[in-house]
Amino acid sequence: MSNDPILFVDDELISRLLNCAVLRDGGFETLEARSYAEAARLIQQHPRLAALVTKVDLGNAVDGFELARLARDANAQITIVYLAGPDVQQFFGQGVIHSRFIAKPCDPRQIVRALDEATPLAPVRLT
């Protein structure tokens, strides 16, 4: 993974805190957002994000698929990891190509593995 941060988006506070803590423990610089609007602002401020990890259902009219398209428009090389319920049918119809899907509930280490596997480079270790 590059030196650039990843953006983790989840409207559920406990899930966001737990997953971001595990990502940071895994060596990833991590930015957090709780909504599409907050995430969109961070994407504009950090156009070189290494990855976007987003819950599909963000609890409003705009979902994680739309957010992923926005992130991919800003950075064509960004890694996308979707988190959603076990219904994968919508993922195949809506997902951004070259992205990954993890069914919730999941072990946060699955997200770390998905990010590690998205690139041949090891994650950046923070000092």
Helix, strand, coil shares of the chain, percent, nearest 5, are 40, 20, 40
CATH numeric code, 6-117: 3.40.50.2300
Model pLDDT, residue 88 = 56
DSSP summary character for residue 4: S
Check whether 120 has a pLDDT greater than 80.
Answer: no
Q: Could you tell me the two tokens for 50?
A: 């290494």
pLDDT in tens, 33-87: 999 999 999 999 998 899 999 998 887 777 888 999 999 999 988 999 998 876 6
Maximum separation of any 2 CA atoms in the chain, in Å? 41
In whole angstroms, how far apart are CA 69 and each of 25, 31, 57, 104? 28, 18, 15, 21
- Res. 90 pLDDT band, cuts 50 70 90: low
pLDDT attached to residue 123 = 38
Domain boundaries, the chain: 6-117
d(CA 124, CA 28) in angstroms, rounded, equals 6
Query: What is the C-alpha to C-alpha distance for residues 55 and 68, in angstroms, rounded to an integer?
Result: 10
Question: Model pTM?
Answer: 0.85
Closest CA to 53 of 73, 38, 33, 37: 33
pLDDT over threshold 50, residue 106: yes
- What pLDDT, on the 0 to 100 scale, is given for residue 64? 87
